[in-house]
C-alpha cells in the first residue's frame, strides 16, 4: 500500500490510502496498538456487501467497489484503473488551528448519489513504526503509513442531494504527531458501499 501512496503508479488516478488495523487477531499474543473494533466492524460491513464468507487480512478495497488480497499489487493497479471511470463529487477541505482542537471545514459538491450515503472523516497518521514482540510477526520492526487513528461520522446525505457542508472540531490525541496527520473525508453509499466522493488535507 505504501507503494501505491508514494509512487502513485496509475495514470489519471490520485490514490488516497487508508490502513484500518483490525482487532480480531489480537488474541494470538500481540495486541496491535492501532487496532480497533470499529475497524473490524467496518470490514464486516464490506464482507456482507461483497457476499464473502468472512473477514481476512490483508484485504484491500478499492473505492468500496472491488476487494482482493492486499498483497496482489497487479490486481490493485487494475482495479484502481477501472475506478478512474467512477466520476465522483468534489471535496473541498480546510483546517483552521484553534486553541484546543483544529476545526475542519468540509464542502462537498457535484454529487450524483442514487442511495442515502454517509459522510465520514478518517484521521490517518504516516510514518509509524512498531517493534512487534510476539505473534506471527514477532521480532520484526514494522513501518506503516496512512494508519487510521480515528473514524467518525460527519453526517448523512439523502438520495439525490448534490451538496453537503459542515464544520467539525477535530480531537487530536497527544500521542499523535500533528505534522504526520492526514484528514480524509469520503462519501460512501450506505448499502452498495461505493465511494461517491473523497478528499484529503493536512494540518
Residues that bind another protein (CB under 8 A): 1, 4, 10, 12-26, 28-35, 39, 42-43, 46, 55, 57-64, 70, 76, 80, 83-88, 91, 130, 132, 134-137, 142, 146, 184, 186, 195, 198-199
Cell of 194: 461505493
How far apart, in whole angstroms, are the C-alpha atoms of residue 52 and residue 55? 8
Q: Report in angstroms how near the CB of residue 99 gets to another protein at its nearest.
A: 32
Q: Report in angstroms how near the CB of residue 157 gets to another protein at its nearest.
A: 16
Indicate the pairing of strand 181-189 with strand 195-202: antiparallel
Q: Which is nearer to another protein, 78 or 103 (CB)?
A: 78
| Contact by Cβ (8 Å): 116, 190 | yes
Q: Report in angstroms how near the CB of residue 114 gets to another protein at its nearest.
A: 19
Q: Which is nearer to another protein, 63 or 126 (CB)?
A: 63
How far apart, in whole angstroms, are the C-alpha atoms of residue 185 and residue 84? 18
| Contact by Cβ (8 Å): 70, 137 | no
Q: Report in angstroms how near the CB of residue 41 gets to another protein at its nearest.
A: 11
The residue among 55, 34, 37, 57 whose CA lies nearest residue 46 is 55
Q: What is the DSSP letter of 27?
A: G
- Cβ within 8 Å of residue 162, ≥6 positions away: 89, 109, 110, 111, 112
Q: Which is nearer to another protein, 154 or 198 (CB)?
A: 198
Q: Which is nearer to another protein, 87 or 100 (CB)?
A: 87
Q: Report in angstroms how near the CB of residue 115 gets to another protein at its nearest.
A: 17
Q: Which is nearer to another protein, 77 or 103 (CB)?
A: 77
H or E stretch including 60?
Answer: strand 59-62
Amino acid at each position: 500500500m505504501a507503494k501505491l501512496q508514494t509512487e502513485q503508479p496509475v495514470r489519471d488516478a490520485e490514490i488516497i490510502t487508508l490502513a484500518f488495523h483490525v482487532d480480531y487477531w489480537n488474541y494470538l499474543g500481540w495486541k496491535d496498538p492501532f487496532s480497533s473494533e470499529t475497524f473490524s466492524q467496518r470490514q464486516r460491513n464490506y464482507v456482507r456487501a461483497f457476499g464473502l464468507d468472512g473477514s481476512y487480512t490483508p484485504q484491500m478495497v478499492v473505492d468500496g467497489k472491488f476487494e482482493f488480497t492486499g498483497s496482489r499489487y497487479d490486481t490493485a493497479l487494475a482495479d484502481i484503473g477501472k475506478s478512474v471511470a467512477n466520476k465522483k463529487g468534489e471535496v473541498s477541505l480546510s483546517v483552521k488551528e484553534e486553541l484546543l482542537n483544529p476545526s475542519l471545514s468540509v464542502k462537498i459538491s457535484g454529487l450524483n448519489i442514487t442511495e442515502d450515503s454517509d459522510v465520514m472523516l478518517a484521521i490517518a497518521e504516516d510514518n509509524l513504526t512498531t517493534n512487534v514482540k510476539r505473534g506471527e510477526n514477532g521480532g520484526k520492526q514494522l513501518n506503516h503509513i496512512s494508519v487510521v487513528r480515528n473514524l467518525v461520522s460527519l453526517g448523512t446525505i439523502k438520495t439525490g442531494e448534490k451538496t453537503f457542508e459542515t464544520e467539525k472540531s477535530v480531537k487530536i490525541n497527544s500521542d499523535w504527531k500533528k505534522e504526520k496527520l492526514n484528514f480524509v473525508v469520503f462519501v460512501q453509499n450506505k448499502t452498495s458501499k461505493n465511494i461517491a466522493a473523497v478528499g484529503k488535507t493536512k494540518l
